Structure 1
Amino acid sequence: MLILFLKAVILIPVTLLPILNPLGIAPVFASLLGNVSRKVEQRIARQVAINCWFMLVGAVFIGSHVLTFFGISLPIVRVGGGLLVAVSGWRMLSDNSQDNSIRTQVAKTYDEDLSDDEIKARSFYPLSFPLTVGPGTIAASITLGANTPVRLVDWVISIGSAALGAALTAAAVYLCYGNAQKLVGMLGRLGTMVVLRLSAFILLCIGIQIFWSGLAALLAEAGISGVAP
Structure 2
Amino acid sequence: MDFSPLPTSSLVGAFLLAFPALFSIVNPVGASLIFDQAMGGRPRPERLKLARQIGLYAFLVLLGSLLLGGYILNFFGVSLGALRVAGGLVVAIRAWGLLMDPQENEERKTSQTEPAQTHEDVAFFPLTMPFTTGPGSISVAIALSSQRPTEGSAVAPFFIGAGLAAALVAIMVWLLYSASERVMRLLGPGGARVLSRLVAFLLLCIGVQIIASGAESLVAKFMAAHHG
Q: Same fold (TM over 0.5)?
A: yes
Q: Which residue in the other structure is 1:51 paired with?
A: 61
Letter in 2 for 1:129: I
Within 1, Cα distance between the matches of 2:55 and 2:90?
22
> What is the correspondence of 1:177-188 to structure 2 with a 5 Å cutoff?
177-178=173-174, 179-180=176-177, 181=180, 182-183=182-183, 185-188=185-188
Letter in 2 for 1:199: V
Select which of 71, 78, 81 maps to 1:72.
Answer: 78
Q: Does 1:20 align with 2:19?
A: yes
Within 2, Cα distance between the matches of 1:52 and 1:100?
21
Q: Which residue in the other structure is 1:118 paired with?
A: 125
Q: Which residue in the other structure is 2:37 paired with?
A: 35
Within 2, Cα distance between the matches of 1:74 and 1:18?
17
Gapped runs of 5+ residues in structure 2?
Answer: 1-5, 40-46, 111-115
Within 2, Cα distance between the matches of 1:217 and 1:130?
20
Query: Shift of residue 213 of structure 1?
Result: 2.2
**Percent identity over the alignment?**
25
Letter in 2 for 1:73: S
Structure 2 length as normaliser, TM-score? 0.63
Letter in 1 for 2:135: P
Query: Shift of residue 165 of structure 1?
Result: 6.2
Within 2, Cα distance between the matches of 1:162 and 1:96?
32
| Number of residue pairs the alignment of both structures matches | 195
Within 1, Cα distance between the matches of 2:167 and 2:83?
26
Select which of 87, 90, 94 maps to 1:84.
Answer: 90
Partners of 1:86 and 1:208 within 8 A in 2: yes
**Secondary structure of 1:223's partner?**
helix
Gapped runs of 5+ residues in structure 1?
Answer: 1-6, 105-109, 150-157, 225-229
Within 2, Cα distance between the matches of 1:138 and 1:163?
8
Letter in 1 for 2:134: Y
Letter in 2 for 1:44: I
| CA-atom RMSD in angstroms | 4.1
Give per-residue Cα distances to partners, 1:99-121, cap 9 Å, x unaligned. Answer: 875xx9xxxxx865443562464
Partners of 1:80 and 1:211 within 8 A in 2: yes
Select which of 127, 134, 146 maps to 1:139.
Answer: 146
Give per-residue Cα distances to partners, 1:131-165, cap 9 Å, x unaligned. Answer: 5x251x2123x327x5169xxxxxxxx98x88876
Query: Shift of residue 184 of structure 1?
Result: 5.2
Q: Which residue in the other structure is 2:200 paired with?
A: 200
Within 1, Cα distance between the matches of 2:138 and 2:85?
16
